[in-house]
Structure 1
Amino acid sequence: MSHYRERLTPSLWVFVATALVIPASILVFAPVTAVPGLAVGTAVGLVLYAGVLAVLVATAPVIEVSGGRLRVGRASIALDLLGGCTAYEGPEAFAERGTRLDARAFLCIRGWIKPVVKMRIADPLDPTPYWLVSSRRPGDLIDAVTVR
């Protein structure tokens, strides 16, 4: 039974920004030949854009809490090995991803998702001090991780 599941798919603005591959392709292919160059550039741009969208969606990591484990992307940890969890938003989240970041931490952060959850590791043998994970619903994630 899954207590929590979230897919970190890109925001709308990422899809809009990557659409710039279409006019870029037109600019590359339009000078090749006068009339078909525009059509070829448009077709190549649409195919490239579809490929970019497919890669963005297919590689979006999933956060899941189930069976006494937390899975973030391909990483997994038992819930009883997690210590305190804290959610950060706004400037605090920016600082956690930047100036306060420990180089040994496990990261699953996405630029298009501002809030982050910091989960301390309680295992004294683990060299990783904490996991820092982007989440659109940080409160729900903390509830799922702490309720055992």
Structure 2
Amino acid sequence: MQQATETYDERLTAPRSWWVIAVAVGISCALMLLPLGTLPMLGGLIGGTALASVMVSSYGSARVRVVAGSLVAGRARIPLTALGTPEVLDRDEALAWRTHKSDPRAFMLLRSYVPQAVRIPVTDPEDPTPYVYVSTRAPERLAAALTRQPPDALGS
């Protein structure tokens, strides 16, 4: 008996420049509190950097996985049986689907710092969501994983 294993796993981490910005926010907080003394300045540096780092970390913690016959994108878990054929989007096409081509009913796990994406139509007639848009650094690998459904996925 073969267990279902993950066929795709990606974390959409924030770019390094965002961490530099988090430190800059901490320095800005320290400068704002400098007239109040050394301790408030240090508190502003530590508190501002910590708060900005938590925000960058939480935004950059989104995961995209294909496991056990499902697409897991952020907090959403969608069975592969409810999805159509994935479409790999290059930089320009992904931008178009994020802006003027987008549908407000679509489920979108997008990160502006990831230029490529995959768009997957939702084929379930009961679901009003027309498609799923997922930012990814490896769109071809994700599309391949979405089309390779494990044999035991239909039974689970």
| TM-score between both structures, scaled by the size of structure 1 | 0.88
Amino acid at match of 1:81: A
Partner residue, 1:94: 95
Paired with 1:58 and 1:92, the residues of 2 have a C-alpha distance of: 27
The reply to whether residue 23 of structure 1 matches residue 27 of structure 2 is yes
Which consecutive residues of structure 1, in runs of 5 or more, have no partner in the other structure?
none
Q: Does 1:123 align with 2:124?
A: yes
* Structure 2 unaligned blocks of 5 or more: 150-156
Aligned to 2:153: none
Paired with 2:81 and 2:122, the residues of 1 have a C-alpha distance of: 9
- TM-score, normalised via structure 2 length: 0.84
> Which residue of the partner structure matches residue 50 of structure 1?
50
4+ residue runs of structure 1 moved beyond 3 angstroms? none
Percentage of pairs with the same residue? 31
Partner of 1:108: 109
Residue 43 of structure 1: CA displacement?
4.1
How many angstroms apart in 2 are the aligned matches of 1:120 and 1:45? Answer: 46
Question: Paired residues, what number?
Answer: 144
SS of the residue 1:125 aligns to = coil
Which residue of structure 2 lines up, in the alignment, with residue 134 of structure 1?
A: 135
Contact 1:14–1:112 under 8 Å retained in 2 = no
